[in-house]
Structure 1
Amino acid sequence: MDVTIQPFRESDAPKLYAAVRESIAEVQPWMPWCHDQYSEADAISWIELASRGRAEKTMFEFAIFSAEALIGACGINHINLNDRVANLGYWVRSSRTGRGAATEAVKQLISWGFDNTEFNRIEIVAAVENVPSQRVAEKVGAVREGILRMRTMTGNGPSDAVMYSVVRPDLEESK
């Protein structure tokens, strides 16, 4: 699958809205921002927030595209500059899951993160019940470190989560 990531643009709002609306049943259990009343105004607000976050270097959010279609999003957030660590999250619209798009986007984002920041560690945190997200983390070579109690908020409230990480030396060793 031909997948690219690029920073969100204002013109992506209708495409983002459509992708989220299509995917509510599958994404909502894992991501509290995804809800039944999700609107185009929510998509616009998210893109504005992502733009400010990029300018302030507090978050780096990307649209995932395949053949000109917006098929999801991925981003680096929860940035801790003192410890040079950040979180990486992702989702792919329901009609495009299971084809490797998330894996390819996450690989690109990890490379982007280490090439464009001073991070030494990028974490992927997935609810213990979110097996597809765990598979993506494993496919990109992230190391499973353990289960953290009550670590993440899901659409159903607090949840235990599996912690994965990629550290800068991991990438240097694989070259």
Structure 2
Amino acid sequence: MAVSALMHSIAIRPYRVSDAHDVYAAISESIEQMSRWMPWCQSSYSVHDALNWLVEQESCRDRGTAYEFAITGPDGGYLGGCGINQVNREYRLANLGYWVRSSATGRGIAAHAVELVTQWTFANTDLLRLELVIAVDNQRSIRVAEKVGAVYEGVARSRLLLRQQPTDALMYSIIRADVAGGISGY
């Protein structure tokens, strides 16, 4: 399942165990900006945590329960991650998530990665729907969803748990027909 798609100077590829130090470095530089939205992004995060997560992702990919991708720049440098998880085979849907290291934000990288992962998903799985569940105050993530043409579906009350507090989330979706129909970004 090797994928290395190039678009606007970024590429996505399945994570490798050898990415552990790069993942750790990117998370370490991004804690201040990301910890509010990503409960796992804390100052206690270690290379060992990254390695454990990468090993788990190989297993998830083999089981078809998640497909996480590294986002890399033209020089191969690690920029962040984008992927699908919480795969529901019965309803053929999954969650789509993304993050970009702080030193690389504001350049459209997340939006391009979402486009690539979405295209990969609908070309390589039988999933029909991707959901983007975004905390109501996460303006950067909301802009990404809107930039790629994800369809806003409403507010899901207490949908997320951030810092142990129930948090409302905006629900966006991208369905297979959107990509085939050429919505914005596809």
Which aligned segments of 4 or more residues in structure 1 are displaced greater than 3 angstroms?
Answer: none
**How far apart are the structure 2 equivalents of 1:104 and 1:169?**
19
Please give the per-residue CA displacement for 1:133-160, whole angstroms capped at 9, x wherever unaligned: 0100111110011010011122463210
Is the counterpart of residue 137 in structure 1 residue 134 in structure 2? no
Please give the per-residue CA displacement for 1:21-72, whole angstroms capped at 9, x wherever unaligned: 0000111100111111010001001100111000111100111101211010
Q: What amino acid is aligned across from residue 137 of structure 2 in structure 1?
A: E
Q: What amino acid is aligned across from residue 66 of structure 2 in structure 1?
A: M
Is the counterpart of residue 165 in structure 1 residue 176 in structure 2? no
Pick 1 or 2: higher relative contact order, CA cutoff 8 A, min separation 6: 1
How many aligned residue pairs are there? 175
* Structure 1: gaps of 5 or more residues: none
Q: What amino acid is aligned across from residue 62 of structure 2 in structure 1?
A: A
Q: Structure 1 residues 153-162 or 136-145, which shifts more?
A: 153-162
Residue 70 of structure 1 corresponds to which residue in structure 2? 78
Assess if the C-alpha contact under 8 Å between 1:124 and 1:163 holds in 2: yes
Assess if the C-alpha contact under 8 Å between 1:29 and 1:156 holds in 2: no
* Structure 2: gaps of 5 or more residues: 1-7
Residue 120 of structure 1 corresponds to which residue in structure 2? 128
Is the counterpart of residue 53 in structure 1 residue 52 in structure 2? no
5, 8, 18: which one pairs with 2:15?
A: 8
Residue 49 of structure 2 corresponds to which residue in structure 1? 42
Residue 4 of structure 2 corresponds to which residue in structure 1? none
Quote how far apart the aligned CAs of 1:112 are: 0.6
132, 136, 161: which one pairs with 1:153?
A: 161
Partner SS for 1:52: helix
**How far apart are the structure 2 equivalents of 1:130 and 1:19?**
20
Partner SS for 1:146: strand
**How far apart are the structure 1 equivalents of 2:156 and 2:40?**
22
Q: What amino acid is aligned across from residue 137 of structure 1 in structure 2?
A: A
* Pair 1:155–1:69, CA change in 2 (3 A): farther
**How far apart are the structure 2 equivalents of 1:100 and 1:15?**
21
**How far apart are the structure 1 equivalents of 2:65 and 2:106?**
30
Q: What amino acid is aligned across from residue 90 of structure 2 in structure 1?
A: N
Please give the per-residue CA displacement for 1:70-119, whole angstroms capped at 9, x wherever unaligned: 01011100111111110000000000000010011000000011111111
Q: What amino acid is aligned across from residue 48 of structure 1 in structure 2?
A: V
Matches within 5 A, 1:61-100: 61-66=68-73, 67-100=75-108
Report the TM-score, using the length of structure 2 for normalisation: 0.91
Quote how far apart the aligned CAs of 1:170 are: 1.0
